[in-house]
Chains A and B, each alone.
Chain A
Amino acid sequence: MAFEKVCNLEDVSEGEALQIETFEEAIAVYNVGGQIFATQDRCTHGDWSLADGFLEDGVIECTLHWGKFCVRTGKVKAPPACDPLTIYPVEVRGGEIFVDYEAGKVGE
């Protein structure tokens, strides 16, 4: 278990997502009403960044083919996405966001 700082809390405002490229695979960090979540950034359907997508009610919508995922659980909410996202543990301490990349697991 190794949490690493990925960005400051102020870098991801409410309702936004941010792409983080510090790990082997890019991750997306989301701010859902003040709660922070992290998933793999690449859509499981096509090679496309989810951080550029549309985040609403805790669901990220990919802009390429409109597949949707729950950012908290990684669960598929709309096809053509078929496989869930990998989700990562997040901690927020002193205005900074930390992610445990090694502890990522495939969602529901």
Chain B
Amino acid sequence: MQTVAIVGAGIAGVTACRSLRESGFSGSIILFGDEAQEPYDRPSLSKSTLKTGGPPPPLAKPGWEQEFDVEMRLGERVISVDFHARSLVLDRQRSVTFDKLVLAVGARARSLAAARSAPPGTVHVLRTLADSAALREELGAGRRVIIIGGGLIGCELATTVRTMGCEVVLLESSDELLLRVLGRKMGAWCRDRLTGLGVEIHLGVSVTSISTDAGVRDVRCSSGRRFTGDVAIVCVGAEPSVELARDAGLACNRGVLVDACGRTDNPAVFAIGDAASWPLRDGGQRSLETYLNSQSQAICAASSIVGQAKPAPQIPISWTEIAGSHIQMMGDVEGPGAIVERKSPEGDASMYLRLHNGVIQAAISIDRAKDFAFVTKLIEREFEVDSNMLADGTTGMRDVFKAASRADVKC
């Protein structure tokens, strides 16, 4: 009987288990997770879980491991892979053999050089439930919180922490928030909204040291500016965890390199989720670090393992909640073509779409989830659309999609 070992019990690993069974895999599945908790939903860590202190939503309903016949090994860390023996070495000096291996080990919070000399526990990061719980312990009305990094996690945290009654100072090194993921226009939009929420934002601020003096966090910047607060959080991105793969000799470049079926350069080994550098539909490859791409990669790798490989080059897709708005994005906003701004019937900006040769390449939606559902299908299917219809916020995207799919059939 074949054994598939999956290392990492986040959304990628759990989806891989589910997909293997749904694809008819009848061998054994062993799922390793280095956290002791049942697999949980990570996007909530910066939002509801932090705010309420309640448990994060589970990734699967109780008893799922029996239903899917998965051997769960939670709280066990895999320290190395021996490809020759096809075995995983565990920290308790035991090993587990496999026929196929899926690396779904995720990413870790990137550290900031300026924070490396700070005493342990004085500077927070957010990646795990333990991180979220430790941060929550320090929050409360009137506490002054300094968030270093104005990307997705930084802006989500600024929103949540502010609504918990804290004073929030958000420091970003570049000249706009969210530049990498949402682009300049949306970055400015979010900055306005966060400012409206009472978040104090400083752009172009490069942090050089974080120290603690009598319980007060002292954040110093290259310009000579200083910010003091009760809590410091570093949110400067994530780094794919590649150590296991790299030490075993697999090719890595900010992520384990895989083909569009999830295969690494060892035919028995697959990589999915944040740890994998996956080919993109529009060229190039990179680690995407999103919930939905992780699911898609897991489904694809499972098909490959059962001998029904179907390449799944990725289009980045994710969502965020910033300053009370539900923002969804797909594709890369920067690129060839023109940006179409779609207004809501009330006249507010509701969507930015990048249109190239009549096809939507990328889109960002603000509080327009229902319309965005159809935009994602238009992007996936590369249907040609009418740019006037797109810009007209009174024409629902459902109708734009129907018109485009009819036109596509005619071709």
Contact = CB atoms under 8 A, between A and B. Distances in A.
Interface stretch (B57-65, B338-346, B386-394): B57-65
Given A78-B295, A80-B41, A63 B11 contact: no
Interface residues of B, number: 21
Contacts of A63: 369-370, 372-373
A35 to B, nearest CB: 20
A83 interface: yes
B292 A66 contact: yes
30 contacts: A45-B57, A48-B369, A52-B373, A53-B370, A53-B373, A54-B373, A54-B377, A63-B370, A63-B373, A64-B369, A65-B291, A65-B319, A66-B292, A76-B61, A78-B15, A78-B295, A79-B14, A79-B15, A79-B59, A79-B60, A79-B295, A80-B41, A80-B43, A80-B57, A80-B59, A80-B291, A82-B57, A82-B58, A82-B59, A82-B61
A61 interface: yes
A48 B372 CA distance: 14
A55 to B, nearest CB: 10
A62 to B, nearest CB: 9
Contacts of B226: none
B59 to A, nearest CB: 6
B383 interface: no
Given A53-B370, A80-B43, 14 more contacts: A52-B373, A53-B373, A54-B374, A54-B377, A63-B369, A78-B295, A79-B11, A79-B14, A79-B15, A79-B41, A80-B59, A82-B57, A82-B59, A82-B60
Interface string B153-166: 00000000000000
Contacts of A83: 61
B356 interface: no
